[in-house]
Amino acid sequence: GKFHPLITDISSLNSDSRIILLQNGSLNIFRVSKEDEGVYQCSVSNDVGAPLKKSASLRVIGEGK
């Protein structure tokens, strides 16, 4: 059969409408700023095996226009 993973964003995101977790697991941040810098972590799980966790660091360089 086909396993359907549960994709859950577990980083410390607030209810900012600029930050969207898409159905495919991508995290989109619109109008990124220095305040968005940090480590984002995501956990993916299904009924088979332990959850898989991955982290990504975001560093913002330069100023917005």
> The domain that contains 16 carries what CATH number?
2.60.40.10
pTM of the predicted protein model:
0.63
The answer to whether position 65 is within a domain reads no
Kindly list the strands in the beta sheet with 6-9, ordered across the sheet, starting from the edge strand earlier in the chain: 6-9, 38-45, 52-58
Residue 27 domain-assigned?
yes
Q: Token pair of 23, please?
A: 């159905």
Residue 22: domain span: 10-58
Q: Is residue 41 part of a domain?
A: yes
Give tens-digit pLDDT for 27-47: 888 999 898 899 888 877 778
Query: Is 14 a domain residue?
Result: yes
Any domain includes 52: yes
pLDDT in tens, 4-24: 666 555 555 657 788 887 878
